[in-house]
Amino acid sequence: MPKRPPAPISAAQQRDLARIDRYIDLFDRFVTEREEHAPYWRVRTLLWVLESSLRVLQRALRSRKHVRWNSPFWAFQYPVEWDWEKWRWNKSELAIRYGQLTSRNTRTRISAVRTLAEMSVRQQIYTTLQYLTHEVSTYKNGRYQHPMVPEPLAETVRSIGNRRQRLEILEQLFFPFSIGAAEIELPEGLKPGQKIPKRLAEQLARATRAIDVPEFICPMTSDGHAISVRIIFQVFPLTIDDRLKRVYFPITVGVTITSDPPLPLDYKRPPKWLDPEQWSERERAQFWGGITRFLRHQHDALKQPANDPVTKEVEAVTTKMEIEMEAISPEAVQRSANQVLDALRAKGFLKGYKINAAPAIAPAAVAEKTTALMETVEHAKDASTKGHALEDLMFTLLAAVPGFEVEKRIRTITEEIDLKVLNSHTDPRWRDNAIILFECKNWSKVCGKDEVVLFERKLENRRGRVKLGFFVSWRGFAKTVPKELLRGSRGRVQVALVTGDDLRAAARTGNILPVLRAAVDRADAN
């Protein structure tokens, strides 16, 4: 049976789509401006997570089901929203979801701002926890656990020739991020008072790595005595549990209470003023209130002015953030982490170590795929087919570049973008360009300066988020184009030119990176 044509989009649906596009652009702009104007946003985000985690610890201690004051440490699974339909084990990027903009939750400005704020909070928390754990993760299916590393990092580790050094680095990547505690391996025979060996000292230094985060030690008084409350926090790499369909960061949070200054006390049988188990409910409430005020003070010291509605709503969301976290024993968390380390030690890195990224396509396979596209680019009869073929050719070449995530034929309210690259490539040349745009023209004549100027404006209209763009013209460019680009070279954006001859060379080798590098070099020389 012939397929039924899709139903036409109504005017109301078109308005909904246009509104959602505007809010997507607002979300992108908010994230970019935060990176530029809020240098301590990760520390602030960590404080949100700490405060939320301590509230869960407080409830757990009150219920006395999982934890007691003689060992006030709580282990739980910090949940992550996940797109299981998109996710394919070892065949795609991480499928983390920050939320979804729909016609319903963007119906009014108030609901749209609230939705954007909630998405922003998730994005900040997830990316911060990933950053703290080096963006490595663990794939879990029942008892089977396998470590995963993003491709750029995996490539760097693979380049280390010494196997022992390679494994040491991999183990450090999978150690938890810690505040107030550090997991170390004590050498056998280490005696009290003995000088710490250099290797152990280096391990301690690595284990206490941080993002300008000091130890959180909160000074208080209890029944007239000065005490110090040290906050303990550990976050382990992201776990993707395929069997249970749960994705989470294993986290341990706790507190230790000591006299200030330290006194020769029996901490197994502490006096009442040092033992919350013996305190009244009011005294324990004052204790938690003191910790909250301490963290809020740390947070306010890093607070940025809330100049826009989304930022104000983000602050409102985080002050009342409550997250359902599933309890798990600290021993289970540690056992799981040890299994991952054992897998690293047993298999090494070069034998069976899998990465969490789309596998790079071999240049020969790329060249084979581009042969048919080249034929269409050069000999298609109608302009639309020729134009789409050139876009498809560029998409195929760009998608084969490790670290390039490519989107094509993006339509917004005011403009069209042929290709957009989200860039995480390790080459320093591209490092400062998180987003790269491409314009493709497969005309029967050379491309003039007017089209290039319009593309340059597209880059400028991205509010500083895009600094580099490539204009691809199959028939080349008029002589006026380089002069026009030279005239505008003092601007904040750079346009590099690519011709059909350049693409023929890339299609033969299956590698477009040399072509892009040469185009940028030519643009730099102008």
CB 492 within 8 A of CB 467: yes
Q: Which domains does the chain have, with CATH numbers?
A: 12-185+203-267+276-347 (no CATH), 363-525 (3.40.91.30)
Pairing state between β 326-327 and 246-259: unpaired
CA–CA separation, 291 vs 276, rounded Å?
Answer: 14
Q: CA angle, 420 as apex, 112 and 501 as ends, to 5°?
A: 165
For 96-153, how does the pLDDT look when each residue is reduced to its tens digit (9 = 90+)? 888 887 888 788 888 888 888 888 888 888 989 998 888 888 888 777 778 888 766 7
Q: 111 versus 342: which is more confidently predicted?
A: 111
What is residue 470's predicted lDDT score, i.e. its pLDDT? 94
Structure letter (DSSP) for residue 98? -
CA–CA separation, 340 vs 277, rounded Å?
Answer: 37
What is residue 186's predicted lDDT score, i.e. its pLDDT? 41
324 pLDDT above the threshold of 90: no
CA–CA separation, 511 vs 402, rounded Å?
Answer: 11
What is residue 3's predicted lDDT score, i.e. its pLDDT? 53
Q: CA angle, 271 as apex, 268 and 277 as ends, to 5°?
A: 75
Q: Which residues pair with 495 in a beta bridge?
A: 469
Q: Which residues contact 90 (CB under 8 A, 6 or more apart)?
A: 139, 148, 354, 355, 356
Structure letter (DSSP) for residue 447? B
Rg (CA), the chain: 28
CB 59 within 8 A of CB 322: no
For 23-44, how does the pLDDT look when each residue is reduced to its tens digit (9 = 90+)? 777 777 777 777 666 777 888 8
Calculated CA dihedral for residues 235, 236, 242, 245, nearest 10 degrees: -10
315-322 long-range contacts, CB within 8 A, separation 24+? 316/117, 317/114, 317/117, 317/118, 317/121, 318/48, 318/121, 321/48, 321/52, 321/121, 322/52, 322/55
CA–CA separation, 145 vs 346, rounded Å?
Answer: 13
Q: If we measure between CA atoms, which residue out of 71, 74, 67 comes closest to residue 50? A: 74
pLDDT interval class at 349 (50, 70, 90): very low
DSSP 3-state assignment of 201?
helix
What is residue 463's predicted lDDT score, i.e. its pLDDT? 57
387 pLDDT above the threshold of 50: yes
Q: How many residues does the chain have?
A: 526
Question: Considering only 147-156, 304-313, 351-360, 435-444, which range has the smallest mean pLDDT?
Answer: 351-360
Q: If we measure between CA atoms, which residue out of 443, 433, 495 comes closest to residue 469? A: 495
The amino acid present at 382, given as its one-letter code, is: D
What is residue 320's predicted lDDT score, i.e. its pLDDT? 64
Share of the chain above pLDDT 90, in %: 9
Q: Which residues contact 129 (CB under 8 A, 6 or more apart)?
A: 49, 78, 235, 238, 249
**What is the residue whose two structure tokens read 């509230």?**
55
**What is the residue whose two structure tokens read 């709503």?**
313
Q: What residue ranges in 122-224 does DSSP mark as E strands?
A: 137-141, 144-148, 177-179, 217-222
Number of Cβ within a 10 Å radius of residue 251: 24
Angle between helices 163-174 and 330-347 (to 10 degrees): 160
